[in-house]
Amino acid sequence: MENQPKTGKYALNFGLLLGAIGIVFGLILYSMDLQYEQGWTLGIVNFLIMAAVIVFGILQFKKANAGFLTLVQALKVGLGIAVIAAVVSIIYQMIFINVIEPDFLANVMEIRKNEMIAKNPGMTQEQVDGAVEMMERFSGPTAIIIFSLVGSLFFGFIISLIGGLIMKKTPQQ
């Protein structure tokens, strides 16, 4: 195929789309004062949005490629979407944490500390302090960046792999 579409173009377009959807979702949560919620339903909604955009991006690439798709192409498009969306999300998170809601991390730490004490009423002050210190270590900007990238790549890979295996179609030679 001489005019084969570029995986990067689809990764960029759909990655920006997924990042924008993530920002809108985050702003909706913020406007509803739900930015501190960590329930499993929000995780599922985020995963379903990610899966839908990645699968749709791979499908659009397949259509542009005369209906053909290799697993490698599906992984390139899907992981590209995931990485670009993660970068957009990280930029938004840093703006949110440093500009929009500067007390966000401190508030999260206080909420998690109170939840931990409520669930484990027999904890000593020393145990609480140790747990809080550990939480602080994994809640800074560097940890947020690393966890966002790794999580996005992991789920992007799984979604791309499954979607690519289902949609795979190679020309008969």
**What's the pLDDT score for residue 173?**
47
pLDDT in tens, 103-149: 988 888 888 888 888 887 787 788 878 887 888 788 778 888 999 99
Statement: residue 155 has pLDDT above 60: yes
**What's the pLDDT score for residue 133?**
83
Statement: residue 1 has pLDDT above 60: no
**What's the pLDDT score for residue 72?**
96
Kindly report the length of the chain: 173
Cβ contact 86:152 at 8 Å: yes
Q: How confident is the model at residue 10 (pLDDT cuts 50, 70, 90)?
A: very high
pLDDT in tens, 43-95: 899 999 999 999 999 999 999 999 999 999 999 999 999 999 999 999 999 99
**What's the pLDDT score for residue 69?**
95
